[in-house]
Each structure stands twice: as structure tokens, then as C-alpha cells.
Amino acid sequence: MSTLPKTMFEKVWENHVVVPETADTPAVLFIDLHLTHEVTTPQAYTELRARGLKLRRPDLTLATMDHSTPTRTEQVFGGVPIAVDSAAKQVQQLEINAREFGVELFNLQDSRRGIVHIIGPELGITQPGKTIVCGDSHTSTHGAFGALAFGIGTTEVGHVLATQCLLQRRPKTFAINVLNQLPKGVTAKDLILAIIGRIGVSGGTGYVLEYRGAAIEKMSMDERMTICNMSIEAGARAGMIAPDATTFEYLAQTPRAPKGEAWDAAVERWSKLPSDAGATFDRSIDIDASALVPMVTYGTHPGMVAPITGSVPAQGDALFEKALKYMGLKAGEPIVNVPVNNVFIGSCTNGRLSDLRNAARVLRGHKLAAGVKMLVVPGSQAVKRAAEAEGLHTVFLDAGAEWRESGCSMCLGMNGDLVPAGHYSISTSNRNFEGRQGQGARTLLASPETAAASAIRGRVTDPREFAN
Amino acid sequence: MPAIKTIRSRTVALPATNVDTDQIIPARFLTSTSKSGFGKHLFADWRYDAAGNPKPDFVLNRPEAKGAAILVAGRNIGCGSSREHAPWALQDFGFQAVISTEFADIFRTNCLKNGLLPVVVDDQTHAWLLANPGVELDIDVESTALTLPDGTQVTFPLEGFARYCLLNGVDELGFLVSQNAAISAYEQSHR
């Protein structure tokens, strides 16, 4: 039987079709893993209760707390109440819902808790070939393992809770071919920012991205997750990377990956997932990794990004001017002249152990510049323990930074970790939208290395000046 | 979900492109566990000053915005976070339809799931609507067309199933639950 060459996306999609799509109806797509958190689920459970529906597959559902949870140790473990009353209630509601519907929950004090997109991979439940959803747009992160993973709204969270399925139209495919290797001192974060700058913040709308090429193949899983995480910042609900030996080595170390014979069978299955030679994509672009330098955003969406060696561009339309006014920047201003008041290392984009190592390597032996505040927030409690085991926390504390419990923290202003109005925040997170880190906050997205170097100088700084 | 067949209303124009869902409803309002009450926080950081007073020059605060049920938004409306609180806030404020040249994927899905009609129009129609805020439009879901004040009809794309659900107030969860036999069969064959 001859078959046409298929993309990885097509293989995963076809393997999950419960009812094929027709001209009149979308496909019924089976979901292998439903990750949930406190912010986007309460209304879905209310709906299930109202209809007398049960959770269909508790075994494929996991809950954690990350978005509205505090990161101060005394609030997480010391019995000091969560400052925001509604956040405290939301966290409580998740406990009630998890108990009533039978969902495994990592509560606030659980040693396995963390940002939902950090803990899925860490546990080994994020696996190649799975369909993975969560009421969070950064679910695209899990695509780094060759999973089809995308964010959904709360109504769809209810659909998955009740039926383990979603109604979906098949998206188009978009190959991002990353040619050559990144130069020394240029990171996965710089690459994805450059890709978003190139295709724009809606360039991926309607598509599933597949990141391919030599630079991607050489990357660690942590780096691949940083890349796939920000697919949504280019408008794509999902981004995927072919599973390979790097993927299998990572998963082999995780507690919930298959073991023994089941592992061997899984690896055999996963090895067939990469796109076939000759598979066609609806769209493709080539990016030369070797030409890149560290990237920093200067505006109010992630597509407004420039090389750190460059300047704020002059574009001139009213919206561009509005964004620069919000940022307090002028066209033509060198990026390295932008002051930094606040530094945030963390988030589902760059809150993994290697991110903390990279920031610490730059920061070691230095102090924060006068007036600079820095928050280092591990992506999970496991990342926190691993970082402490190798003494990374002392590097941050010695420099004058704060070392916190895991959570989404300062990536989004809903848990008490806020950037004051007017302050410049260099942040390893994913969104520089107006007010994202606090009302009036001015966010500059960058890699952990660039954030750490900027913390030392108190202005945007090329981390390659601290190369070692 | 209530059925929607036609929408007749004045428009409000918000021409900014790439309006993200953090602007539509800032994260600090997402700690609610209910779907209602988000309208007062819609575009909170654009709508109110630091003291919480309405900014008189922001479009939603102007007298002509009162009662308007159609929002004409710039290209790529609803990008960023998947928060369904964004369509909840728009609906709670009184909007029944959003018109743009391009919708972010998750936002568009979330709108449809709540009966907030996403209407994609061509650049020329869009430019005219942005330049002429406050006009009265008719939107017909059955024929997937909007009628401009001069009688010109502009059709818009709407996937058949979504159209059916809107017209009949059919709720997708009910439809999915009705697929139980197929889902069970899939589960059996993929153990």
C-alpha cells in the first residue's frame, strides 16, 4: 500500500480522529492529556455540575496551581494568607473541584507543584505523539516533544473534562527551517524572538508550526521548549519539534514515562513520528541561525523586537508611536541605552533549570546595579530543589536578587508579583503587552543571559560582554 | 447558548491592531470563579485612569458607544492569552459581534463558543467601517452577510457547524456528549 509522505502534525492528528471532519461538522479529536490550573477551570466545573456530567478520564487529567498563587515562601509554606482574597478563593475552589471530580491535584504545598507547562515534561507525561491541551495559550510548549499541544478556552476545558474530546477543524502546516547553528552567546530565546519578528505576531494564525533544521536538532529539550512555548506569540496555537534521541534521553529520566518493555515499544512508535521526507507544508520559511545576535523587544508586542546591537526602529505609524510612547522610547535610540529597573527570571518560557544556570553563569560574582530589583522564580518546585542542590540560589542571593517559590509570578500581574508603573522590566517571560507585568510596566523580553547581564549594568546589556 | 439569527446595531470602532486579550481583560481580574461581571473591567487599563475614573476620550466611554452591540476592531484582534474572560467581558459590556480583518485563533474559537459573532471582512470594508464609526449595520447569520447603510451586502466566512450552532442555539458540549459511542470505541481501540 503506498502512502503519501506525511508531516508529523498529520500523523498525530490522524491518530486522534474519533469522528472525521466533514463539510458540515468539525472532527471529533481525542485528547491524551488535559493539564489544568486554577484560573481557567472553575467555570467549566460549574457547567459540568449544572448538567450533571462527570469527569470522563481522571487518568488523563492533572491539576496544578500556578497563575494566581503567591511566590513568597511565607505565603506558600508559612501559613501567611494569600494577599488577594479572590485569588485565595480561586485556589480553594480548585481544591474543591479536584476532590469532587477526582482529579489528581498538586496543591500549593505539594513538592511536585509548578507551572503547568514545566511539570508536564518534568513528570514525563508530556510525550511524543500525544494530543495535549490546557486552558492556557502556552500549552504550545509541549510540542517540543513532538506532541500536538495547544491552548483552549474554558468552554473547551469543559468539553475535554466531560468527553475527553474537542471539536476541531484541521489547521494548516508551516515549516520553520532553521539553517546552520546559533553563534556562541545566542540562545533559543533569541531565535524564537527573531522568528516572531520575521513572521509577525499573526504570521502563524491558522497554522501548526514545525521547527526544523540543524540548529533545532542540536538543541536540548529545555531550549526546544523555549522555542515551542512562544509559537502562540507568532499567532500559532501549536508548534512542534520532531522527537529524537535528545527527546528520548530526557524522557527516560522522568518518573511517569513508560518503563521496561512499554518504554521500548513507545520509542519505536515515537521514532516513526517525524515528518516523512518529501512531506509538504502549506507554508515554509528559512532562517539562518548563524546570522543572529541576542534579541530584545522594545515595544508592546513580541514582534516589536530588535537585535541588541541595533536601535529602536523608526516606523512612523500612529500605533507604532503609541507603543513607543508607552515604552518611553524614541526611534533611533540604541537598544543598549534602555535603562533597566527590574529583572525577572522565570516563567514557562525560561523558568527551567538550564535557564537558571545560564543566568547564574553571567551573574556569578557580580552585584545588581544600584536601584535594580531582581526576582528569580523557578518554574517548579523540582527546578527549585535542583537549583538549590547546585548552589544557584546563592549566586542570585549574593547578587542581591530574591529567590522565590515556583509559579507564573511576574509573567502576568495576577499573583502579587508586579512591576511598578513606568519601570523598565527586562523579563525572560513571553509577553510585553501593555500592563502585562503590572499597570504601566514597561517590559523588555530577552533571554536569561541578557536579563542577567542587564541586571549587572542597570541597562540593557549584551551578555556576550560577560562571556565565559 | 441562546440562538442568534440577526444583529442590528450601531458600531463602535477601536482601530488599534494586535489588540491582545490582556488589554480586553487584564489578568488581575481573572481571579473570579464566575463568568459574569467582567464587563465593568473590559479594556480597564484603556478605559479608566489611575484613580479609576473613566477617561472621557476613550471610545467606550463616549456617549455614542452606549448601546452599541458591534465592535469594529483592528487586525488580529484577541491575540495572546487564551482567557475566555475576553469574550465574556465583551458580551457582558453589551457586544454581540466583533468585526475585523483577522482574528487570533483561540479568541475566535472562544467567541463562537459563547455566541459572540466574529465577522471577518475584507480590507476595504474594514477601512470604511473604521472611518465611519457609529453607522447602523445589519448582520444576518443565516446568509452570513452584513448590510452597510447604503444597502451594500458583504458576506463573511462562517464555518457551517458554527453557523448551525449559532442559528439554533445548539451547544457543542451536548453534541460531543452525543458522540459517546464513537468516543468509547476509540478508547477501546487505543488502549
Closest CA to A448 of A340, A381, A349, A306: A349
The SS3 of residue B143 is coil
Which chain A residue's Cα is nearest to B86?
A153
User: In this complex, do A89 and B28 lie within 8 Å of one another by their Cβ atoms?
Assistant: no
Task: Report helix angle A221-229 to A245-252, nearest 10.
Answer: 110
Nearest CA in chain B to A16: B186
Q: Are A70 and A415 in contact (CB under 8 A)?
A: yes
Q: Which residues contact B52 (CB under 8 A, 6 or more apart)?
A: none
**ipTM value for the complex:** 0.97
How distant is the Cα of A363 from the closest Cα of chain B, in angstroms?
A: 31
A155:B104 CB<8 A: no
Q: Give me the pLDDT at residue B87, please.
A: 98
Long-range contact pairs involving B38-41 (C-beta distance under 8 Å, separation at least 24) = B38/B85, B38/B88, B38/B89, B38/B92, B39/B89, B39/B91, B39/B92, B39/B93, B39/B94, B40/B92, B41/B89
Cβ distance A319 to B22 less than 8 Å, yes or no, reads: no
* Tens-level pLDDT at each residue, chain A (468 residues): 458 999 999 999 999 999 999 998 999 999 999 999 999 999 999 999 999 999 999 999 999 999 999 999 999 998 888 888 899 999 999 999 999 999 999 999 999 999 999 999 999 999 999 999 999 999 999 999 999 999 999 999 999 999 999 999 999 999 999 999 999 999 999 999 999 999 999 999 999 999 999 999 999 999 999 999 999 999 999 999 999 999 999 999 999 999 999 999 999 999 999 999 999 999 999 999 999 999 999 999 999 999 999 999 998 789 999 999 999 999 999 999 999 999 999 999 999 999 999 999 999 999 999 999 999 999 999 999 999 999 999 999 999 999 999 999 999 989 999 999 999 999 999 999 999 999 999 999 999 999 999 999 999 999 999 976
A131-134: strand order across its sheet:
A104-106, A61-64, A33-36, A131-134, A148-151
Binned at pLDDT 50, 70 and 90, residue B188 comes out as very high
Residue B8: DSSP 8-state: E
pLDDT score recorded for residue B171? 86
List pLDDT tens digits, range B118-161: 999 999 999 999 999 999 999 999 999 999 999 999 999 999 99
* In contact, A414 and A87? CB cutoff 8 Å: yes
Contact A154, A189 (CB under 8 A): no
* Nearest neighbour of B80 by CB, restricted to A46, A51, A433: A433
Q: Chain A contacts of B114, Cβ < 8 Å?
A: 155
| Per-residue model confidence (pLDDT) at position A83 | 81
Q: With an 8 Å Cβ cutoff, is B186 touching chain A?
A: yes
Question: Residues 147..166 of A with a Cβ closer than 8 Å to B: which?
Answer: 151-156, 158-159, 162-165
Residue A182 DSSP one-character state:
P
* A179: contact with B, CB 8 A cutoff: no
A416 touches chain B (CB under 8 A): no
Distance CA A424, CA A296 (A): 13
With contact defined as beta carbons under 8 Å apart, do B118 and B101 qualify? Answer: no
Nearest to A319 among B16, B33, B164 (CB): B16
Chain A hits for B27, Cβ within 8 Å: 67, 412-414, 436
Residue A319 has its nearest CB partner, among B17, B32, B113, at B17
Residue of A42, A93, A413 lying closest to B27 (CB–CB): A413
Task: List, for residues B60-119, the tens digit of each pLDDT value.
Answer: 999 999 999 999 999 999 999 999 999 999 999 999 999 999 999 999 999 999 999 999
User: What are phi and psi for residue A338, nearest 5 degrees?
Assistant: -70, 125
- For residue B74, what are the CA distances in angstroms to A193, B16, B20, B138? 23, 5, 11, 20
Contacts of residue B82 in chain A, CB cutoff 8 Å?
A: 40, 135-137, 151-153
B1: confidence class by pLDDT, cuts 50, 70, 90: confident
Degrees, nearest 5: CA angle A220-A225-A228: 125
Residue type, position A45, single letter: Y
Contact A235 B33 (CB under 8 A): no
Cell numbers 507603543 correspond to: A323
Which of A347, A433, A443, A445 is the best substitution to test chain B (most B C-beta atoms within 10 A)?
A433
CB contact under 8 A, A67 and B30: yes
Q: Are B114 and A235 inside 8 Å of each other by CB? A: no
Return the residue of A nearest to B17 by Cα. A319
Q: Round to whole Å and give the CA distance between B84 and B90.
A: 10
Q: In the structure grid, which three cell numbers stand for residue A226, read together?
A: 523555549
Does the beta carbon of B17 lie under 8 angstroms from any beta carbon of chain A?
yes
Q: Which residues make Cβ contacts (< 8 Å) with residue A279, sequence separation at least 6?
A: A5, A6, A7, A10
Distance CA A182, CA A191 (A): 8
Check B30 against A53: CB less than 8 A apart: no
List phi, psi (to 5°) of B75. Answer: -60, 145
Inform me whether the C-beta atom of residue B100 falls under 8 Å from chain A C-beta atoms.
no
**Contact state of A40 with B83 under an 8 Å Cβ cutoff:** yes
**DSSP SS3 for B186:** helix
